[in-house]
């Protein structure tokens, strides 16, 4: 069956440390993988997108890796801050081209950064 799995346990880390979140998928062939942040009662906010032919993407303190052999993406937040506390969601898009887009989402991982 098709599955997207993210760290099921909430992640608690100390301010300043690096948070690493995992997204594993089964029986999908994503052309793109996206990471979003979601705060309680709000819509997801786009953070980073990585293509199937890319290994790594960076944006400021954020880094995402994509291993299509392992069927895994890792999302890193370096020098974490309490303001980074939120739920982080990964989403797959199997469409390589065109305007028909459909995201398939994981359940999300809750991150708490303690001061």
Partner 1 sequence: DAGVTQSPTHLIKTRGQHVTLRCSPISGHKSVSWYQQVLGQGPQFIFQYYEKEERGRGNFPDRFSARQFPNYSSELNVNALLLGDSALYLCASRGQGLAGTFGSGTRLTVV
| Chain positions contacting partner 1, by CB under 8 A | 4, 32, 34, 36, 41-46, 49, 89, 91, 93, 99-108
Is the torsion defined by CA of 114, 77, 108, 22 positive or negative? negative
Please, which residue, 10 or 79, has the CB nearer to partner 1? 10
Cβ 55 to partner 1 shortest distance, Å: 18
d(CA 115, CA 110): 16
Residue 49 CA to residue 40 CA, distance in Å, equals 22
Neighbours of 42 (CB within 10 A): 10
Least distance (Å) between residue 98 CB and partner 1: 9
Q: How far is the CB of 14 from partner 1 (least distance, A)?
A: 26
* Residue with Cβ nearer partner 1 (66 or 79): 66
């Amino acid at each position: 069956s098709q599955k997207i799995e993210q760290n099921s346990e909430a992640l608690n880390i100390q301010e300043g440390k690096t948070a690493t979140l995992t997204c594993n998928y089964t029986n999908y062939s994503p052309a793109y993988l996206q990471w979003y942040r979601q705060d309680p009662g709000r819509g997801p906010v786009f953070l980073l997108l990585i293509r199937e032919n890319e290994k790594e993407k960076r944006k400021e303190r954020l880094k995402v890796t994509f291993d299509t052999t392992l069927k895994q993406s890792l999302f890193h937040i370096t020098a974490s801050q309490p303001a980074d506390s939120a739920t982080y969601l990964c989403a797959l898009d199997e469409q390589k081209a065109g305007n028909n887009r459909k995201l398939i989402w994981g359940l999300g991982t809750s991150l708490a950064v303690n001061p």
